[in-house]
Amino acid sequence: MSMTVAPEDVILGVLQEARKRSHRRLYRTALVKLVYLVDYIYAQHSGGRTLTGLDYIWDSYGPNASNNEIVQSADTLEKPRHDIKMERIVTPAGNRTYLYEVNEGARDEPLDDALGQAIISDVVAAYGGLHWAQLVQVAKDTRPFRDAKQGQPLNLQPDAQRASRLAKLRDAAADGRYDSLGPAVTGEELKARYGLDT
């Protein structure tokens, strides 16, 4: 795996993928949560290292990059780079919000990190079409958020027990041990056969 990817490149990748999938703009909250989900999933495959190198906290609206760095990075894409457009709008309730979209002619290059690129595509495919409030809930349902308190940093390190179980399952599949399971094997039999803890 490569070193971290600039947050601006991940944001641009998320917005480009959103355009490819639905030709829609993303609310600021949705953009922040999608980048968080990319970083969270990436961290589960890289020993806790995020794709962007950002750290996360539980702020007023759920998971967010420390010091609001995703929004700050998006601002550099709008000006001076002009890769994205940010529109300030007022909702019918009178609240100010922001919509982001990639500009025509923005650079469209895959990331140097193939895993990161695949995760961006998968995250936007799975969650990009959700209403922003649903997306906030998805982000809040992640283990790092559930294990923290408001204002605290989020620990994106992979769960050691889960990682051990997955490694055992991968080894069993690679060795062909699942090829001879036979009919009606119970979960308890699988656990005993492959040394899995409950």
Whether residue 8 is predicted with pLDDT greater than 50 in this model: the reply is yes
Q: How far is residue 111's CA from residue 129's CA, in Å, rounded to a whole number?
A: 22
Instruction: Give the start-to-end residue ranges of the domains of the chain.
Output: 7-146, 160-194
Q: Which amino acid is at 47?
A: G
Q: How far apart are CA 46 and CA 193, in angstroms?
A: 29
Q: pLDDT grade, residue 72 (50/70/90)?
A: very high
| pLDDT score of 163 more than 80 | no
Average pLDDT over residues 105-130: 92
Whether residue 80 is preceded by a cis peptide bond, meaning omega within 30 degrees of 0, is yes
| Token reading at 71 | 């929004």
pLDDT score, position 1 = 43
Residue 187's SS3 state is: helix
Q: Which of 22-26, 110-114, 160-164, 188-192 has the lowest mean pLDDT?
A: 188-192
User: What is the mean predicted confidence (pLDDT) over 60-66?
Assistant: 91
